Amino acid sequence: MYRLQNWRHFDYWLFGAVTILCIFGIIMIRSAVAGSIEIIDSPNRQTYFVIAGLIVVLITAALDYHLLGNMARFLYIFALVSLVVIYVYGQARFGSARWLDTGVILIQPAELAKIIMVIVLADFFARHQHDKHDLIWVGKSAALTFGVVVWILLQPNLSTSIVIIVLWVSMLWISGLPAKYILLFAGLGFVFALVLFPFLQSYQQLRLINFIFPDPNARHGNSYNVDQALITIGSGGWFGMGYGHGTQVQLRFLKVRHTDFIFSAMAQEFGFIGTVLVIGMLVFVIYRCFRVAVEAQEMFGSLIAYGIGTLMFFQTAVNIGVNLNVIPVTGLVLPFISYGGSSLLSTVMAIGLVESVALRRKPLDY
C-alpha cells in the first residue's frame, strides 16, 4: 500500500472524467432499453458494475504496479490457462467459448487478458530495453503475444485478438522498434490477414465481404444493423431529438443499441453537439493516460500507461468507426458507456493501473 500523503499525485481529473462517462453510460443504457422487457434490468445491473468498478479503480491504484511486474509470469500463465479452460468448457457445454457464467455475472476471460497482456508486454520490454532491437527481440515478444491470441481466435473472438495485436505493435514501437522493420511488419500483416480469412467464421467473412462490396439494394440481412445505425445518427441532427425521444431507438429499429451501437443511440438523442462532447471526454481520458506515461518514474510504468492509453484510443476509434460504417463491424464496445460487466470492470481496472503509475510518478508541483 502507498503512503496516504502521496495520494496528492492521484490523477483526480482522470478519475472524474471516467466517473462522468460511466454515469452517462447508465443514463444512455436506460434510454436504449426502454420498453424492452428482456433487457429492462440492464441499467440497474450497470449501476452495480459502475459502483464496483470505481472501487476497483481505487484498490488497483493503491497497489504498487511494480508488484504486478514481479507477477508478470504468473499473470501470463493465469491468462493462458483461463483461456484454454474456457475454450474447452465452452465448446463442451455451449458450442462457443467466450463467457463463463458465475451465476451473478458472465465473465469474459479475454477482457481480462487484454489488461494482463499490457502488464506482461510492459514487463518484457522494460526488462529487455537494453537488448539489441533485432528480429530475435521482436520474435520473443511476438511469441508471448500470439501464445494468448491463438486461444482467443479459437473462441472465436477476432476483435479482441486484433486489440491485443495492436497493443503489441504499439508497445513494440514505443519501445524502439527500428524503422527498417515497418515495411516488413506491414507486409507480414497483409499476408497474415489473407491466410487467416479462410479460417474465419462464416459471419465474420460476411461482415468483411459486405463492407468491401456493399449491396446498395440490401435493406436487411448482414447490413441491417449498420444501415439502421447510419439512419439513427443522421436523424439526430445538430442537437438531437432529446433524451428518450429517439425514434430509431425507442421503436427498436436499432439493434444492440445498449452495447455495440450505443454511440448511434447517443447521436440521435443528443445530436452532433452531444456526441462531440462525449468524444471530447473520451479523448481527455486518453490524454491523461499518455500524460501519466510521460511522467512515469521508469520504463515499466510508462509502458503500462501508454498501453492503456492505446487500448482506450483503439476501442473508442473502432466502435465509433463501426457506427459510422467506415470500418467493418467488430463487436468492440464503447469504453465506459456501453453495457457490459466484464468489459466495464476490465476497463476501469486498466484506469486503476494508470492511477497506480500516477501515484508513483516523479514529484510534480501543482
* pLDDT tens-digit series, residues 273-292: 999 999 999 999 999 999 99
Whether the Cβ atoms of residue 17 and residue 281 lie closer than 8 Å to each other: yes
Choose among 285, 278, 267: nearest CA to 323: 267
Residues 11-19 have a mean pLDDT of 95
Whether the Cβ atoms of residue 199 and residue 154 lie closer than 8 Å to each other: no
Residues 334-356 have a mean pLDDT of 92
Cα gap 183→249, rounded to integer Å? 44
Residues 289-317 have a mean pLDDT of 94
pLDDT in tens, 70-95: 899 999 999 998 888 877 776 444 44
Asked if the model's pLDDT at residue 349 lies above 70, the reply is: yes
Residue-number span of the structural domain to which 235 is assigned:
4-359
Percent of the chain with pLDDT over 70: 88
What is the reported pLDDT for 218? 59
Asked if the model's pLDDT at residue 248 lies above 60, the reply is: yes
pLDDT, mean over the chain: 85
Residue 365 lies in a domain: no
Residue 366 lies in a domain: no
Please indicate whether residue 280 or residue 193 has the higher confidence score (pLDDT). Answer: 280
What is the reported pLDDT for 221? 55
Residue 280 lies in a domain: yes
**What domain count does the chain have?**
1
Residue 167 lies in a domain: yes
Residue 106 phi, psi dihedral angles, 5° rounding? -85, 115
Q: How confident is the model at residue 207 (pLDDT cuts 50, 70, 90)?
A: confident
What is the grid cell recorded at 263? 454511440
DSSP state of 325: T
Residue 364 lies in a domain: no
324: Cβ contacts below 8 Å, ≥ 6 apart: 229, 230, 233
pTM above 0.85, yes or no: yes
